[in-house]
Amino acid sequence: MKLHEYQSKHIFAKYGIPIPKGRVAATAEEAKTIAEELGSRVVIKSQVLVGGRGKAGGIRLAKTPEEARDIATQILSMEIKGLPVRKVLVDEAAGIEKEIYLGITNDRAARKPVIMASAAGGVDIEEVARTTPEKIIKVHIDPLLGLRDYQARNLAVGIDLPKDHWRVFGQICRGLWQAYVDCDATLAEINPLVITAGNQLIALDGKMLIDDNALFRHTDLAEMRDLDEEAPSETEARKYGLSFIKLDGNIGCMVNGAGLAMTSMDLIKLFGGEPANFLDIGGGASSEKVAAALRIILSDPNVKAVLFNVFGGITRGDEVARGILTALREVKTTVPMVTRLVGTNAEEGRQILANAKMITAETLAEAAQKAVAVAKGE
């Protein structure tokens, strides 16, 4: 789950990381009021769950409360990378001397969290990572020991941070680490962390990703989820306990088990197709769940074929088949469907599906090949 900038910075502040004064607004009038309260130049920042807002024109400075209102009106009517802006953060504007990058994530290859810093922070950090990766200093953190003071100091040295900032920089690194651990985050990032014209270190931007599988123990964080900002199909899938991720291809996949789902996607690719989604309906899926899954898959207009690959262990083949038929009664569709059903009650399942003009396959390879072919209209 992604948190908005204002939510991430609110968490950072609780962990002793300095952030600018400011508040979030849903209307231009509110933005004006906040600018009046702050009594300074402000920055109006679109709150959408994508990066690169600055480059898209979603971050602008305002000198007066009236200007803040006018800019907020404009930003609140924008779409950034397809997402409508519904809120803006109105922050006291900072004069910027230097932009630093600071972030923590998991390094899967090293099987450890890693804290990264760069003197070349700001809106082009992706470019820096690609072309001059040596400008990003990385320090791995032992999850049992946590971030040690000397590690934060090594980062400060690595990015040539002037010595008078080391103490606060260490405090920011520790705060970011503690927030990362306490929230079960998979990313906690400040870009830019700036040295202001007044020689203060302050987090101008904030981004956190929270591990969805840990949300059950963070009800306060779970409540921050912004449903307006998610692909509606993913919201719907979560309601039914389905693991669903939308992708860009045209072959919808309905599979039970994450490993089998990955394998099915690999085989689709092997035979020259592209999956439209990852979907794990889980073990013991009921017919309602199957119906919901099919509705979600078919709501994607790119889908030109659907591949069902179900191994009946706990999940029963006849339940799955009934679910498919239930869904097809609701969702009228001409999209061709290929099924491979094996395991518990597979025979009953196949009989049920025989009435439904389904293309059947014996093996996964055959199913994938048939799905690729029908998606191409062959």
Binding site for ligand GDP (CB under 6 A): 43, 45, 51-54, 59, 91, 93-94, 96, 99, 122-123, 191-192, 204-205
User: Shortest Cβ distance from residue 43 to ligand GDP (Å)?
Assistant: 4
* Secondary structure letter of residue 85 according to DSSP: P
**Which does residue 241 touch among Mn ion, ligand GDP, none (CB within 5 to 8 A, set by kind)?**
none
**Which does residue 98 touch among Mn ion, ligand GDP, none (CB within 5 to 8 A, set by kind)?**
none
| CB of 189 or CB of 280, closer to Mn ion | 189
Choosing from 101, 180, 240, 319, the catalytic residue is 101
Side-by-side strand order, sheet with 88-92: 22-25, 88-92, 42-46, 59-62
Angle value at C-alpha 288, between 284 and 293, nearest 5 degrees: 85
Preceding omega of 143 cis (within 30 degrees of 0): no
User: Shortest Cβ distance from residue 330 to ligand GDP (Å)?
Assistant: 40
Strands 42-46 and 59-62: antiparallel
Q: Which stretch binds Mn ion (CB under 5 A): 59-67, 165-173, 187-195, 324-332?
A: 187-195
**Which does residue 59 touch among ligand GDP, Mn ion, none (CB within 5 to 8 A, set by kind)?**
ligand GDP
User: Shortest Cβ distance from residue 342 to ligand GDP (Å)?
Assistant: 48
| CB of 123 or CB of 215, closer to ligand GDP | 123
189 is a contact residue toward Mn ion (CB under 5 A): no
Let me know if 101 is a catalytic residue.
yes
Size of the site for Mn ion (CB under 5 A): 2
| CB of 4 or CB of 370, closer to ligand GDP | 4
Secondary structure class of 265 (helix, strand, coil): helix
| CB of 191 or CB of 309, closer to ligand GDP | 191
**CA-closest candidate to residue 127, choices 55, 201, 50, 37:** 55
Q: Which stretch binds Mn ion (CB under 5 A): 80-88, 161-169, 185-193, 332-340?
A: 185-193
315 is a contact residue toward Mn ion (CB under 5 A): no
User: Shortest Cβ distance from residue 225 to ligand GDP (Å)?
Assistant: 20
| CB of 44 or CB of 292, closer to Mn ion | 44
How many other C-beta atoms can be found within 10 angstroms of the C-beta atom of residue 104?
24
The CA–CA distances, whole Å, from 245 to 118, 233, 258, 280 equal: 32, 9, 12, 9
122 near 191, Cβ under 8 Å? Answer: yes
User: Shortest Cβ distance from residue 42 to ligand GDP (Å)?
Assistant: 8
| CB of 80 or CB of 325, closer to ligand GDP | 80
62 near 42, Cβ under 8 Å? Answer: yes
Strands 201-203 and 185-196: antiparallel
364 near 325, Cβ under 8 Å? Answer: no
| CB of 42 or CB of 268, closer to ligand GDP | 42
Let me know if 189 is a catalytic residue.
yes
Angle value at C-alpha 290, between 288 and 293, nearest 5 degrees: 110
User: Shortest Cβ distance from residue 281 to Mn ion (Å)?
Assistant: 37
Q: How many CA atoms lie within 13 A of 101 on its CB side?
A: 22
Interface mask (CB under 5 A) for Mn ion, residues 193-212, using x and -? ------------x-------
Output the CA torsion sign for 234, 240, 241, 247: negative
How many other C-beta atoms can be found within 10 angstroms of the C-beta atom of residue 34?
24
191 is a contact residue toward Mn ion (CB under 5 A): yes
Chain residue at closest Cβ approach to ligand GDP: 54
Instruction: Indicate the helix (H) or strand (E) that contains 117.
Output: strand 112-118
* Residues that bind Mn ion in the complex, under the rule CB under 5 A: 191, 205
Question: Which residues does the annotation mark as catalytic?
Answer: 101, 189
